[in-house]
Amino acid sequence: MLTSSSHRTASNAMRSHPSGTLDHAHTETPHARHAAAPADSLVKPSRDRAHTYAAHALNLFNVYGIPLTSGIWLEYYFTSSRPSISLLAVSSVFGTQLACLGLATSTTLRLHHRPKYWRVYMLIGTLFVCGAHLGLLVTSDLWVLVLCQGALTGLGLGMLGAVSLRVLSTHYKHNVAVTSTLCGSAGFFGAIVHSTLTWICLRTDNPGLAHGLALSLLTLTLFPALLLARPGDYKSLQPRQPNRDALPSTSSWRVYPVSPAMLLTTTALLIPPLHLPLLLTRHPGPNRADAGLYTLLTLYGTAVLTSAFVPRIPPRRLSSSTLCGVAGVVAGAATVPLVWMQSLGVAVPCAAVYGAALGCVAVLWVTVFSRCVEAFRAGGVGGLVDVCGLVAGLSAAGGVVGAAALLQGLESGVEVLLGVVVGGLVLGGLGMGGRDFVRRWKRL
C-alpha cells in the first residue's frame, strides 16, 4: 500500500510540474512577463544616453563658448567702441555675466528635482540667451550691455548648463560630479568658433553682425539640444547618496585647506583669457590687432585636447586633486614670461601651455571642490555642485573685475596683475595637489 501510494504521489507531481522541474519546483520557467528583456529593448536606453550626451555637448558649446569670447568683446569696447568709458565699467558687463551664470547654476540645481519640469527650465534658459542677443541688436547702451550681455546671458547659460548636466547625470546613476567631466572639449570648441566669428565681425567694426551670428549659432544648437535630451530615470533627479567610507575626514580639511586653494585657482584662472587680448594691443607690432585672436585660438585649441584626454586617466594613478594641482602650477609658470614681455611671440607659446592647464582644471574642478566640502554636508558629491557653481561664478567675476581695477588704478598695473595671477595659480595648485604629494611621500 505504501509503495503504490508513493508511486501515485510521484506521478501526480510529474503531471503538476513541467519537465525538468521535479527536484526544485521554485526553479520553474518564469512567465514571459518576468523573463529577461530581449536585446532589442536595450537599444532605447543607449540611444537616449547618446542623444542626451549630444544635447549636453551642444549646450556646453555655448555655455563655455560665449563667456570665453568676452576677452575679444572687452578689447573692442575699451579700445574702439567706447574709449570714453572706464575699463572697470566695461569689465562689469562680463563680471555680471559670470556672477549670474554661477547664481543661475546654483539656483537651478537647487530647484530642479522634478523630472517633468526639466524641459521648461531648458526652454527658459534658451529664451533668456536668445532674447538677450536680440536686445543687443536693438541698442548698445551701457545699461543694455550690463542687462543683456551680462545678466540675462549669464542667467540663461547657467540654467542651460545646470539642467543639461543634471539630465545627463540620470544616465550615470545621478553622479553629477562624474558627469561634469564630460563634453568639456565641446565647450572649448565652441569658444574657438564663437571667438573666430566675433573677431571677423569686430575687425570690420560690425558688432551687430557678431550678435546676429551668435544668435544664429544659439538657435542652431540650443533648440536641437532641447529636443535631443532624454532623462534616463524619470523616478527621481535627486543626487545619489554619498559613500561614507570615501568621504574625507573633517580633520583632513582643517589640516590641509584644499577648498581655499581651489577658490584661489577659480579666481585667477579666467583673468588671462579675458584680459590678454587687451594687454597685447598695448604692445606695438605689425600683428597687434590680430594678436588677441591668435593667442586665444592657441589657448582654446590645447584646452580642447586636454579636456578630452584628462578624464580618461585612471584615478588610481593620478587623483583629480593632483591633476588640478599640477595644472594650476603649470598655468602659473606659463604666465611668468608675460609679466615682462606681452608680445605675440611670447604670448602664443605661453597660451598653448596655459590652455592645456585650463582644460584640465575645467573638467575636474567640480570633483575636487565638492569632495573637499562634502564632509560637512549630506547629499553626496552631486548635491554640492550647486555650491561649486555659485562659488566659482562669484570668484571668477571678482577676479575679472578686480583685474580691471588693478589695471586702471596702478601705473604698473599690468605687471602687478600678472604677478597676482601667477601667485594665485601657483599657491592654489600647491594647495590642491600638496596633500596627495605628502601622502605619496610618506608611503615611499
Query: Which of the 8 DSSP states describes residue 69?
Result: G
If one counts every other C-beta atom within 10 angstroms of the C-beta of residue 204, the result is 9
User: What local confidence, expressed as pLDDT, does residue 373 receive?
Assistant: 56
The full DSSP string for 180-196 is TTSSHHHHHHHHHHHHH
In a domain, 13, yes or no: no
**Residue scoring higher pLDDT (282 or 324):** 324
In a domain, 23, yes or no: no
User: What local confidence, expressed as pLDDT, does residue 9 receive?
Assistant: 47
Looking from the CA of 393 toward its CB, the CA atoms found within 13 Å total: 29
Q: Is the pLDDT of residue 177 over 60?
A: yes
- Secondary element (H or E) of residue 138: helix 118-138
In a domain, 295, yes or no: yes
Grid cell of 405 as nine digits: 581695477
In a domain, 245, yes or no: no
Which of 221-230, 307-316, 423-432 has the lowest average pLDDT? Answer: 307-316
Grid cell of 34 as nine digits: 518576468
Instruction: Output Rg (C-alpha) for the chain, integer angstroms.
Output: 27
**Could you list the residue range(s) of the whole structural domain that residue 86 is in?**
46-233+252-442
How many structural domains are present in the chain? 1
User: What local confidence, expressed as pLDDT, does residue 232 receive?
Assistant: 78
- Confidence class of residue 22 from pLDDT cuts 50, 70 and 90? very low
Which of 17-21, 187-191, 283-287, 339-343 has the lowest average pLDDT? Answer: 17-21
User: What local confidence, expressed as pLDDT, does residue 233 receive?
Assistant: 62
- Confidence class of residue 35 from pLDDT cuts 50, 70 and 90? very low
User: What local confidence, expressed as pLDDT, does residue 348 receive?
Assistant: 93
Reported as a single tens digit per residue, the pLDDT across 226-248 is 999 888 765 544 444 444 444 44
The whole-chain average pLDDT of the chain stands at 80
In a domain, 21, yes or no: no
Q: From residue 365, how far is each of 72, 99, 155, 306 by CA, in Å? A: 25, 17, 21, 14
Q: Is the pLDDT of residue 378 over 60?
A: no
Please provide the size of the chain in residues: 444
In a domain, 17, yes or no: no
Which of 96-100, 102-106, 296-300 has the lowest average pLDDT? Answer: 102-106
Share in percent of the chain as helix, strand, coil (round to 5): 80, 0, 20
In a domain, 10, yes or no: no
- For residues 406-417, average pLDDT: 90
- For residues 253-273, average pLDDT: 76
**Residue scoring higher pLDDT (227 or 287):** 227
Q: What is the CATH number of the domain that holds 205?
A: 1.20.1250.20
In a domain, 294, yes or no: yes
- Taking alpha carbons only, the member of 329, 318, 341 closest to residue 414 is 341
